[in-house]
Amino acid sequence: MALKPARILAIESSCDETACAILENGRALLSSVVASQMEIHARYGGGFPEVASRQHVLSITSVVEQALTQAHLTLKDIDAIAVTQGPGLAGSLVVGMNMAKGLALGSGLPLIGVNHLEGHLYSAWVYNSDERAPAEPQFPLMVLLVSGGHSELNLMTDHLTYQRLGSTLDDAAGEAFDKVARMLELGYPGGPAVQKAAEEGDPNRFKFPRAWLDGTWDFSFSGLKTSVLYEVRELQKKSGSLPVADLAASFQKAVIDVLYKKTMDAAREFGAKEILIAGGVSANRPLRQIFKAQTEFPVHIPPLSLCTDNAAMIASAGYYRFALGHISQLDMDVLPTWPLS
């Protein structure tokens, strides 16, 4: 079914990135602006909700103006406003929501609330408008969503149609990366720091556990994280120094082994045509490499710029919601704990 053409302006403010993007027809990216708070939160070793919401207030107006300027457009050229409704930090979500409502009310444009996790999935549809359009993901898709707050497998059978097969029972994969990075004093954010340290390490030196949870599609990374902690304490008692690179590489391999095997098994079990990997952890180079190396399933992984939080992904999901008639009311509220399915 051919969907109607539309330009969507989207706003994302669910955590610590203030972002705005303009997308055409769900795929072609006309502009994308992200004001990152990474350096500010790195001083504290992690994200602080109060700091995040204040920074959003300071940045949001200029970010929207920059996105329109980059695209050489005004609000008169836009067909709808999309905004992240949740999940995320309540104080951060409210800033983006209020901006989007103001734009919609002032312009008379439709408003579309988008699930942040759904946005991550739709990042795989996005490409820069000055590039050749890559092939669209084909349904049914096996989706591995891995981030700081979520690790789950979803079967996507059509646009906006998901069946959650399993999720983490404790720590998300990205959360485990952050905690292990802190143990190894690698800094924040943990994912890139662990990956960098692991490049010089032996991934087979430490035999960390893998929680396979046979008979389910769920994940668990708490036991792995605790195992690393015990190993760190034991090594510190013995020698006082840590083989950081080997610890990072062995931990990273344990996480990737589980994510890869469970995703591949689920794709076979549920008859998926293709695999889609999304979320912040999808930026991990060894994870991308292991999925790209297999030839059983075509794999879609967003470019690195679209793996972390951005508004282009919200615009893409917003377009499909708009085109399929899912319009929100101006009195909608933020949903900080909103699940994908």
- Is the pLDDT score of 46 beyond 60? no
Under DSSP, is residue 24 helix (H, G, I), strand (E, B) or coil?
strand
Reported in sequence order, the residue ranges of the chain that DSSP labels E, i.e. its strands, are 7-12, 17-24, 28-36, 80-86, 111-115, 127-128, 141-146, 151-158, 161-167, 274-278, 299-300
Structural domains of the chain ordered from first start: 7-126+305-323 (3.30.420.40), 141-301 (3.30.420.40)
Nearest to 326, CA basis, from 163, 162, 164, 160: 160
What number is the average pLDDT over the span 309-330? 97
pLDDT of 243-268, one tens digit each?
999 999 999 999 999 999 999 999 99
- Is the pLDDT score of 44 beyond 90? no
56 touches 13 (CB < 8 A) = yes
Provide CB contacts within 8 A for 295, sequence distance 6+: none
How many Å apart are CA 27 and CA 32, to the nearest integer? 13
| pLDDT of res. 48 | 59
Please state, rounded to an integer, the average pLDDT across all residues of the chain: 94
Output the six-digit token pair for 132.
Answer: 């050749």
CB count in 10 Å sphere of residue 231: 19
> What are the strands of the beta sheet with 161-167, ordered from one edge?
161-167, 151-158, 141-146, 274-278, 299-300
What number is the average pLDDT over the span 191-208? 97
Query: Residue 188 — very low, low, confident or very high, per pLDDT cuts 50/70/90?
Result: confident
| pLDDT of res. 40 | 57
Cα angle 221-116-42, degrees, rounded to a multiple of 5: 60
With a pLDDT cut of 90, the percent of the chain lying above it is 89
**Which helix (H) or strand (E) element contains residue 264?**
helix 244-269
What number is the average pLDDT over the span 9-20? 94
| pLDDT of res. 41 | 47
276 touches 156 (CB < 8 A) = yes
Q: Which pTM value belongs to this model?
A: 0.94
Q: What is the per-residue DSSP string for 136-202? A: PP-SSEEEEEESSS-EEEEEEEETTEEEEEEEBSS--HHHHHHHHHHHTT--SSHHHHHHHHHTTS-
pLDDT of 149-178, one tens digit each?
899 999 999 999 999 999 999 999 999 999
Query: Residue 239 — very low, low, confident or very high, per pLDDT cuts 50/70/90?
Result: confident
Nearest to 290, CA basis, from 133, 144, 121: 144
10 touches 20 (CB < 8 A) = yes
Under DSSP, is residue 205 helix (H, G, I), strand (E, B) or coil?
coil
pLDDT of 261-314, one tens digit each?
999 999 999 999 999 999 999 999 999 999 999 999 999 999 999 999 999 999
249 touches 205 (CB < 8 A) = yes
With a pLDDT cut of 70, the percent of the chain lying above it is 96
Query: Residue 235 — very low, low, confident or very high, per pLDDT cuts 50/70/90?
Result: very high
pLDDT of 87-146, one tens digit each?
999 999 999 999 999 999 999 999 999 999 999 999 999 999 999 999 999 999 999 999
